[in-house]
Amino acid sequence: MMENNDGFPDEVTDDVDGLLWLGFLEDSFEFCGHEFVIRTLKLEDEMVAGYAAKDYKDSISQAKAWVAAQVGMALVSVDGNEDFCPQAGPNKKDFARARFQYVTRNWYEPTINYIYMKYVELIERQESILREMENLSKEGRISFMASPDSSIKRADSTPEAEIMDYLEDAPEDLIPFNENS
């Protein structure tokens, strides 16, 4: 495995640069003769996806709605067209609802599920890159993590535990599918 002068393996350098400088990853793939481009979602995008799927809370379709909402928000383009979905205005919730409606009204479940599988692969790639960055940080090459005097504890914590701690303190209207919705 070759390394560039930043210490990262060549095959992840573009991904690392994307996470450090752009904050997201994109991927393109073909499915049944169509080209799709997807991206990782920011936290705000995931939260408004929750609003888009909220009508299906506590129903047998809740998981399907959540998948469709994430696919709608992750799509960048379809067959090279970034305007594949009618625009709903600058409001993020309206945008998420429009994307959700477009995906659920126009595509069958196998298409949505395939795109979601590709999205999950992109998230796994993102997590792998973050682990690589953390490993480099622990080796002392580059420090990407919080400093020892930071308020963030990393040594005895997992990402899952930190997310759960955050959600316990988060305002209820920001958590999709909370009990009080």
What average pLDDT does the segment 55-64 reach? Answer: 95
Residue 6 lies in a domain: no
Count of domains for the chain: 1
What average pLDDT does the segment 29-47 reach? Answer: 94
Q: d(Cα 24, Cα 17) in Å, to the nearest integer?
A: 9
Instruction: Kindly indicate the confidence band of residue 122, based on its pLDDT and cuts at 50, 70 and 90.
Output: very high
Listed range (10-14, 37-41, 109-113) with the worst mean pLDDT = 10-14
SS3 state at 51: helix
Look up the domain containing 90 and give its range: 28-172
Classify residue 86 as left (phi > 0), alpha (psi -120 to 50) or beta: beta
Residue 43 lies in a domain: yes
Q: HSE (CB half, 13 Å, CA atoms) of 19? A: 18
What average pLDDT does the segment 145-170 reach? Answer: 53
Q: d(Cα 30, Cα 34) in Å, to the nearest integer?
A: 5
Residue 20 lies in a domain: no
Nearest alpha carbon to residue 66 among 87, 96, 88: 96
Q: d(Cα 28, Cα 35) in Å, to the nearest integer?
A: 7
Whether residue 91 is predicted with pLDDT greater than 60 in this model: the reply is yes
Residue 87 lies in a domain: yes
Residue 64 lies in a domain: yes
Average pLDDT, the chain: 78
Residue 50 lies in a domain: yes
Instruction: Kindly indicate the confidence band of residue 144, based on its pLDDT and cuts at 50, 70 and 90.
Output: very low
What average pLDDT does the segment 136-150 reach? Answer: 54
Residue 50 near residue 165 (C-beta atoms within 8 A): no
